[in-house]
Amino acid sequence: MLDGVLLQPEQEGLLVSLVEATRNLPRGQREQFIFAPTFGGSDIQHPGLPGHELPAYASDIEVLWNEGLLNGTRGQHGARLFDISPRGFTVYEAIKRRSGATVQQLEEELMRYLDSERFQKAYPEAHHKWSEAAERLWSSDSKQQLTMIGHLCREAMQAFATALIERYRPTTVDHDKGHDVARIRAVLNQHASKIGTTAAPFLDAILAYWGTVSDLVQRQEHGGQREGRRLVWEDGRRVVFQTAVVMFEVDRTLG
């Protein structure tokens, strides 16, 4: 119960996504959300959303609407134009406060993003490989399991880079999927002029970050043989988390 409002976890997640999409746009450029259900599925359209759309269940929107968290107009066949109400922003803040410490909030946000329907549809193989690595992390700390975690994270990063290549089709491409740094560079270079001068240094930082994490998962995959140090559970946690972070940052930047 939040501020007298009872929501299911998926409805809380939807409200969080909508509020943060609103905040992704300068106040003078904000627009209403558009929801138009179809036989093929239901999406919310808004320029502040990653990819400008978010799969949504009509009943979840109805719950948020009836609780006074959204306001707007109803159209035909279930279509709606809406904004977040002041009550919606208040409940959002309560959700974030309940989440606990700032670091925990960020981790929950990251996991929610990677487990979202949009991310899974855009990067199905990358999500599958990363999810399997995360599951193995909690099941065992054996060396065999930890090296497999490194292998799965490596495959997740390669699959993520391949999905970007297929989506954006840069003119110059390294076709070796093992060269994920070069493949990510091709996509980021293609978008450098579109992102603007203020964000350009961030693209360079993301590429360097990607390369560092790529090296990290390769070390994990080979059991840390070069350093001569036995892998421990913390090594597994690090590669699972950092793989998630770097995919999150690249996808958000391009989106």
pLDDT per position as a tens digit, 57-76: 889 999 999 999 999 998 87
Contact 192, 203 (CB under 8 A): yes
The range of the structural domain enclosing residue 202 comes to 107-254
145/244 same-domain check: yes
Maximum distance among all Cα pairs of the chain, rounded to whole angstroms: 66
**What sign has the CA pseudo-torsion 186, 155, 238, 143?**
negative
Pairing of strands 70-74, 53-55: unpaired
pLDDT tens-digit map of 108-124: 778 888 888 889 999 99
Residue 169 has pLDDT above 60, yes or no: yes
Residues 148 and 225 in one domain: yes
Asked if residue 138 and residue 213 are part of one domain, the reply reads: yes
244 and 119 in a single domain? The answer is: yes
Query: 88 and 133 in one domain?
Result: no
As a whole number, mean pLDDT of residues 32-45 equals 83
- For residues 169 and 190, the answer to whether their CB atoms sit within 8 Å is no
Helix (H) or strand (E) holding 10: helix 9-23
Is the whole model's pTM more than 0.85, yes or no? no
Examine the domain organization and report whether 119 and 239 are in the same domain.
yes
Residue 3, in any domain of the structure: no
What's the structural domain count of the chain?
2
Taking the C-alpha atoms of residue 209 and residue 232, their distance in angstroms, rounded to an integer, is 23
